Structure formats: structure tokens, C-alpha cells
Structure 1
Amino acid sequence: MTTMTEASVREFKMPDVGEGLTEAEILKWYVQPGDTVTDGQVVCEVETAKAAVELPIPYDGVVRELRFPEGTTVAVGTSIIAVAVAGSSAEAPPEPKPEPEPVEEAKPAARTPVLVGYGVSTSATKRRPRKGAEIPAQEASAAVQAELNGHAGTAVAERRPLAKPPVRKLAKDLGVDLATVTPSGPDGIITREDVHAAVAPAPAPEPVRAPEPAPLSPAPVTYDTTRETRIPVKGVRKATAAAMVGSAFTAPHVTEFVTVDVTRTMKLVEELKQDKEMQGRRVNPLLLIAKALLVAIKRNPDINASWDDAAQEIVLKHYVNLGIAAATPRGLIVPNIKDAHAKTLPQLADSLGELVSTARDGKTSPAAMQGGTVTITNVGVFGIDTGTPILNPGESAILAIGTIKLQPWVHKGKVKPRQVTTLALSFDHRLVDGELGSKVLADVAAILEQPKRLITWA
């Protein structure tokens, strides 16, 4: 009996950190074999099709082995790290072998009648061999076969073909001699299939064809590594590409544009930066544009919907999870601010600041990118005037913001330099007709031209 207790090895498997994900790539290990880990300690960072996620270990112990190196894509449910957990026996004691049940001596019993074609009936009772001369095994086998066939003696050559009564009747009805049938059943028993095969005409032999020349294997693709670099498509980039293709070829996109004077909005941004309530918060044009879009959605709630193709229903959302498209080193992601419609301007500023910082650090969780209803993408930060944005899958509208720059503008009857930008609104034409899309875009533009409408229309 073992008295010492050693650590047992626990396997930590790749979890599904999103909804229905099948694999994840190991980006970085934070521990090495021999390191001590505690319950809840982050041991590695993985990238799924949605985000980069840190994985905590669910128990205390010592790292025995890292199953995969960094950069490996691992299926969900596969062990990725082995940890020695203290407090349990290293080896479980062997289970005792079951004692063989005693075999009772059976009394001589009357011979059991045997039905021809059904084989010898088996019995759990064992008998002692009778005293006297033993029958050779070959002769005993022949005798049994002879008895099965209804014959006496040991003549095997004249034995009757083995078949069950229904099979014999089938052979008789079809005019098949069982002696000519090749059995395929256990112990040489002829089956119904064997009888049918004996009736069916033998297939004509296929003509012998000259062997075709084997196709030449294509030459391996090569390229000049000094002139080309190939990057595997995986993780967030792969998921984004699939989502964009699916969206572009599923939802009929319509895009409308408006150029707007945002000079007053830019002045309000500078004023808010000096406001005591906004101190320490992220205040920029994106904040006010986001608020303007939320007000426009409140005035035109039918824009905030999704198309349920399976149920053939339009789903109107009574909440706004505002997505903000963010470019990260791992690709484009769209985290969203939950219940953005219910937030005050300071609360919205806090949420935007947290969202941007988390995305920049690559720490956006899969949950933060699920359930979005409407999205904003700011292409103006790259110096672009405007674009035709593609809808985030499952959403009805996306607003693109162009760069804000000084342009000649007619203001109060005179041409003056004003801060101007171009907005583009793409929407799903199954859900949103031209009138509704135009109203939403016009409301956003009107608020940015006269920011006081944020108060009067909110």
C-alpha cells in the first residue's frame, strides 16, 4: 500500500472564450515549466476569431509542460498546459481483480434437442468429461456436424447445407439448389442474401481498359522571399474578412452622403475640454458625433433594427449598442458601448475612452464585440474625406466620418473658411428605405451644424 502522496497532473484545455468558437492561436505564454501557478493566475494570451484573450488557470500547482509553442493554432477542447496539483495520490491503487466465480459440477442432463439450421444451443452448465476412452477432436466435430444435418455417423462429405427454415423455403420458391450456394453466414450458414445472389445473374466482366497516364503533379508554388512576404490569414483578420464578405453579399447596401459645416461643433469641443465635469475625460469630435447619432436614432427609432432571415422578421431594437470601428495591429475590430442610448455625455466620454484604450492594448474581450446595433467608423483620422462603409453583420446602419478641415464655405451670405466634413451613412435597404436613411443622416448633420440641438432634441 502506497503511503506517500504526490502531485497529480491536471490538463488545462483550450476553452471556448467566445460563442461557438472552434480554435484559438496561442500568442504568448506567461509561465514556463517549473513555475508555480495559483488559481486565477493568467498563464497565456490567445487570439480567437474575435479578440485577444488572457486565460487564467483554474487551480494551484506547478507547471509540468506547455503542450504547444507560441504561434500555434489549437482546437477548442485540446489540452494546452499540464499542471501538477498537490494533494492527491500520484498513482491510484490497482483495482482488485474480480474473484472467479466457483464452477458447480453439473449433473448429467438429458440431451438437448437441436433444431436443424439453428445451431447447437449453448448452456452455461459445464460437464465433467466421462471416464473412458476419449473421442478424437476431429471425429467429435464430424459427429456434431452429422447430427446437425440430421444424419448419423461421421460422414461429412454427405452433409446437408446449413440454412434456417425460412431460407430453405425461399430457396425452394426461387428454384435454387442450396448445395450450389456459397454460404456467407457464421459457421457456414446460408443466408437470404446468399440465395438471392445465387439467383441474380453474374455481372458481365468489365472491359479491360488501358491504364490512363497519371496526371502530372503541379510544381510547388515558389516565390522570391526578397520581393514578397506572405502573411497567413487567421484570427481576427480571417474572421473580419469572412464577416465583410458575408455582409456585402447578403445585405443590399445603400450609401448616402452629406457635407456639413461643423465649425460650431469644434468650438463646443474646446469649451467642453475646459468644463469641470469633463476634466480628465476624452473629449473630441467623435464624442459629439456619437451623441448626435444617438439623438438621431431616438428621433428615428426604426433605423435601429436587424433582419432575421430564418424567421423572416424585422427585429426592432429598443436599445442602442453603439459600435466603434477600431484599427488594431491584429486587424479591424468593432467593440460596442452597451446601452449607449441611456448614457449622459460624461458617461459616454468615459465609455469611449475605455473602449479605445482597451482596443489599442489588444485586450478587447469577445463579449465587448457582440450584440452591436449601429456602428461609427472614423476614416477622417487617416486624412480621408469619406468612404462607403460596409455594414457590421447583423446591423442596419453604419456612419462614416470624414476628415474635418478648413474649406471655403458660404456662411451668412459670405464665403468664409469653415470647418467642414463629409458624412456617409450606409444602411441595409431591406430594413431602411431612402426616406428613413435620409432623415437620420440629415438629423446628424443638423445637430453638428447647431450643437445646441443636442439639448433640445435629446
Structure 2
Amino acid sequence: MQVQFRLPDLGEGLTESEIVSWHVAVGDPVKLNQVIAEVETAKAVVELPSPYTGTVSAIMHEPGTVVEVGEVIIEFDVAAEPDSDSAGVAGSVRDGDPARYADARSRSRAPISDSASAEPVSEAEPKRVPTLVGYGADPETSARPVRRARTLSAPAQEPKKADVHVQVDRPRSTPPVRKLARDMGVGLEEVAGTGERGLITRADVLTFAGDHAVAREHTDSGEGTVAAPASGRAEAQETVREVRTPIKGVQKFMAKAMVESAFTAPHVSEFLTIDVTAGMDFLQKLRSQKEFAGIKVTPLTLAAKAVTLAVARYPALNSHWDEKAQEVVTFKYLNLGIAAATPRGLVVPNIKDTQALGLRGLAQALGQLAETARAGKTPPADLAGGTFSITNIGVFGIDAGTPLLNTGEAGILALGAVRRTPWEYQGQVALRQVMTLSLSFDHRLVDGAQGSRFLADVGAIMADPAMALVLS
């Protein structure tokens, strides 16, 4: 029996995803929950597990294609009797059984597949757009096979797509770099990666384009592109006047969110410069404690704890303006977002229920969040539901800024760089470790007094961690 698998809704109502890579090819046998593909949404790169045990009969789209939710992406040949486990899980999703659905999800690493979107080809049902996120991949069956270059044949009903060649074993790179390479006519298989573990970087693509003169130039007349002459890097760099990159993925999502934030919430920003010498000494002491062995503790760790304590005293900073319901929603929990610069762009994953974590647990959570974000593996669930955010611009050597609110949140705190600065200390001028805190808040929810007191509390704890005992 032939069945189709449609691109599922991967969460947050996202309407499309880009196919990053296939881990199977036409003719490959697959098992239930085996990872068959990686797709990139506007928020994260996620793995898709197979909803069936069978054989791949057709792959509908090449890597790099942007596919809408509900569109068929792959077909399988399966036994006439469906796999019992697959049917059971799919049935639980279709029947809306929360208990069975939750149990199925608990066996997975990432909630990314929608079994309800896999339908027999023979069924004459109207096209349905999936709305449920599925049960994910089983660690015991999701080991990735060795990738091989294969020729993938399109389905019989689409003869124009026959003999489409897909290179499954593609060089390692990020989606923006792959897009740049496509726009410039560069084959990544010819580029030597200089990044970590052979990762192909943007600079590698540009250097290759210059050396081999395959960059393209957009003509002023708008009639298309012309190839640059092959005469070396310097001439190629002079020839390339423009590089056009489609706006999509994380960049598109971030731009939309920032415009919505800037023109919806009335921002107010305040700044506080403080002597954090005692706070930095405290962090150094923590690093020598056996309880913190192997755990990274930084000014961000201390700031996260300070924010957790301060929002308990000033809950307006941990609230949401519900325009549709005309209500103010005050959260009794804190999902602390941490802005992270990744190869895919800016993302703001959040740590759930931060108020329940001690300093050690918070430091561990921050380390895991950063590691996952850098690897591009942040699950969509971790990017949703934030209630307050922190952005650490100090790591770039920046002292202060006016951060834009993460959409739907009442406040965001920016941490500036810690610098040795002449400072008044005990009646004399001394070199002290100084930093600036920048707070932006939604003036519909937070008045000036609340914002100022909140910022003062955070600053007091950063300057002297012992104040946490007083302010908690």
C-alpha cells in the first residue's frame, strides 16, 4: 500500500519550512521513527521521523525547497496491514487522546512529527492541513544512516520531475551559507570548509567565488545576471556589485517580530551604571566550589538570578498586554528568555519556570541553552512562551543600548561589558569593575517608578550578591 507523508505543523502556527537535507533516498527501507529528513522553520532546525515502516517510493522536493505545511514531501510503500505501533500512535493523535499522545511524545527527543499528516494515496479525502505536533524520533531507531549520493525518481504521475538527482551527502554548512552559495552559483561540494569540524562558512564561499570567478552581477537594467570574468579574486571582488539574499527563516521571523514590537508597545528605556567588583569576586569564588565544578558561571548567571528575584517584587515586569481580550495577564511563573546570536540569526530561547531554580540549576540551564542554540537544535517549544528576556551585549564589547522588547513581553534587560574603570570607592578614586544595565519596558504595563525600582534591585544584586538575601 502506498502512503503519503505531508509536512506537519511543527508548532507556533508556522506555515512553511525549508527542507535542509534528506537522510533517505528512493528505494531505501525505513523503520518507524527513523529520522528521514531535517527541515528548517523560522525558528529552528528539526528532525522528521518516519511515521511508517516500509520503503521510500518517492521524494517530492529537493533540499533547499521551501514547502508549505500540509504539502506532500515523501511517499512510502508499506505493508497492507499498518505497523501496530505506528497505527496506535497515529490513532491517538487523530482521535485526540491526550494521555496516549503525551505518552508517545515522552519516548522522543523532540516533538517534531505529525503522524496524522501521513495518509494513504488511495483515500479520496480533501487535503487537510495538520494542526498537531507529533511524537518525535525514538533514540533507539533514529540513528542516521550513512549518507549516499543517489538518483531520486519522481512519482509516475509527475513525469517532468523524473530523474532528479539529489546529493544526500552534502558538505556541512548553515542554511544562510547554502543560500548564498546557490545565489552565487557556487557548488558547496567544491568548497573547502575552514570552520569547526570542516564547516563551510560565508567567508569560504566568498573566497571560492573570488578565486574561481563564479560570482554573479545584477545588471542595472534589471534583465538578470551576468557571469564575472575569470581573472582572480581582486577583479571578482570589484565586479560583484550586489548580492541579493531572500528574506526567510529566522531573519524573516525576527524582522516581523521586531517591527511588531517597535510599533505596538510604547518602549521606555533606562540605564544604570554600577560597580560590580564584589559581584565578579563572588562569581570567582563560585568557580572554585566543588558544587560548581564543570559549570560555567558568568555575569549572565548572576543577572538571571537577580531578574528572577526582582520580578517577584515587581510582577508588572512579568506580564502581558492581551489586546484582543483587553486584559493584563500577570504571570505567576518566569520563563526567562536569553537572546542568542547563532549562525542562523538571533533567537531567544527561554528557560521554563526559572523561579524554581537555584543558582546552580540556573547556571546549568544557561549552559545547556547556549550549547543547543549554537548547534542550531533549539526545539520550537523552547522558543515560545517567554515572559521576560535578557540580552548580553557585553560579550561584543558594547557598554549600553536600547533593546527592543521580545514580542508579547513587558521587559528586557541588556547587560553591558564589564570594564576596569576609575570609580569613586570609599572616598577615593580606584580602578573598579564597572558595567551598565539597560532596561526597556512596555509603558502600558510598567510605569516609571516600577521600572526604576526593578532596575535598582537588579543592580543592587549584581553589585553585591549578598543583597539577594535582603530582596528575596
Indicate whether the TM-score tops 0.5. Answer: yes
Change (3 A) 1:87 1:222: closer
Aligned residue in 2 for 1:456: 470
Q: How does 1:421-436 map to 2 (within 5 A)?
A: 421-436=435-450
| CA distance, structure 2, for counterparts of residue 384 and residue 287 of structure 1 | 18
- CA shift at 1:40, angstroms? 0.9
Aligned residue in 1 for 2:317: 303
Aligned residue in 1 for 2:24: 31
Amino acid at match of 1:359: A
Aligned residue in 2 for 1:363: 377
Correspondent of 1:47 among 40, 59, 64? 40
Aligned residue in 1 for 2:364: 350
| CA distance, structure 2, for counterparts of residue 40 and residue 457 of structure 1 | 49
Runs (5+) with no aligned partner, structure 1? 1-7, 93-217
Aligned residue in 2 for 1:75: 68
Aligned residue in 2 for 1:391: 405
Query: What SS does the aligned partner of 1:249 have?
Result: helix
1:58 and 2:72 aligned = no
How big is each residue's C-alpha offset from its partner over 1:230-275, in whole Å with a ceiling of 9 and x where there is no partner? 1111011101100000100000000000111111111111111111
1:9 and 2:23 aligned = no
Aligned-residue Cα RMSD (Å) equals: 2.0
Aligned residue in 1 for 2:303: 289
CA contact (8 A) 1:47 1:236 kept: no
Aligned residue in 1 for 2:420: 406
Query: What SS does the aligned partner of 2:55 have?
Result: strand
- CA shift at 1:223, angstroms? 6.8
| CA distance, structure 2, for counterparts of residue 387 and residue 369 of structure 1 | 23
CA contact (8 A) 2:316 2:410 kept: no
Q: Percent identity between the aligned chains?
A: 54
Aligned residue in 2 for 1:236: 250
| CA distance, structure 1, for counterparts of residue 467 and residue 121 of structure 2 | 74
CA contact (8 A) 2:457 2:471 kept: no
| Alignment: residue pair count | 326
Query: What SS does the aligned partner of 1:386 have?
Result: coil
CA contact (8 A) 1:334 1:369 kept: yes
How big is each residue's C-alpha offset from its partner over 1:364-393, in whole Å with a ceiling of 9 and x where there is no partner? 111111111000000111111111100000
| CA distance, structure 1, for counterparts of residue 223 and residue 283 of structure 2 | 55
Change (3 A) 1:275 1:71: same
Amino acid at match of 1:220: G
Aligned residue in 2 for 1:374: 388
Runs (5+) with no aligned partner, structure 2? 83-119, 123-219, 227-238
| CA distance, structure 2, for counterparts of residue 72 and residue 376 of structure 1 | 34
CA contact (8 A) 1:67 1:80 kept: yes
Change (3 A) 1:409 1:44: same
- CA shift at 1:219, angstroms? 5.5
- CA shift at 1:320, angstroms? 0.5
| CA distance, structure 2, for counterparts of residue 67 and residue 222 of structure 1 | 29
CA contact (8 A) 1:236 1:333 kept: yes
Change (3 A) 1:91 1:227: closer
- CA shift at 1:313, angstroms? 1.4
Query: What SS does the aligned partner of 1:237 have?
Result: helix
| CA distance, structure 2, for counterparts of residue 227 and residue 29 of structure 1 | 34
Aligned residue in 2 for 1:338: 352
Amino acid at match of 1:29: W
- CA shift at 1:229, angstroms? 1.4
Amino acid at match of 2:466: K
The structure with the largest helix share of the pair is 2
CA contact (8 A) 1:41 1:56 kept: yes
CA contact (8 A) 2:22 2:63 kept: yes
Provide the TM-score with structure 2 as the length reference.
0.67
Amino acid at match of 1:442: A
CA contact (8 A) 2:60 2:73 kept: yes
- CA shift at 1:85, angstroms? 1.3
Query: What SS does the aligned partner of 1:267 have?
Result: helix
CA contact (8 A) 2:400 2:415 kept: yes
Aligned residue in 2 for 1:226: 240
Pair member with larger Rg:
1
| CA distance, structure 1, for counterparts of residue 400 and residue 57 of structure 2 | 54
| CA distance, structure 1, for counterparts of residue 11 and residue 345 of structure 2 | 18
| CA distance, structure 2, for counterparts of residue 29 and residue 222 of structure 1 | 31
CA contact (8 A) 2:349 2:382 kept: yes
- CA shift at 1:9, angstroms? 2.0
How big is each residue's C-alpha offset from its partner over 1:9-38, in whole Å with a ceiling of 9 and x where there is no partner? 221110000122211111121222222211
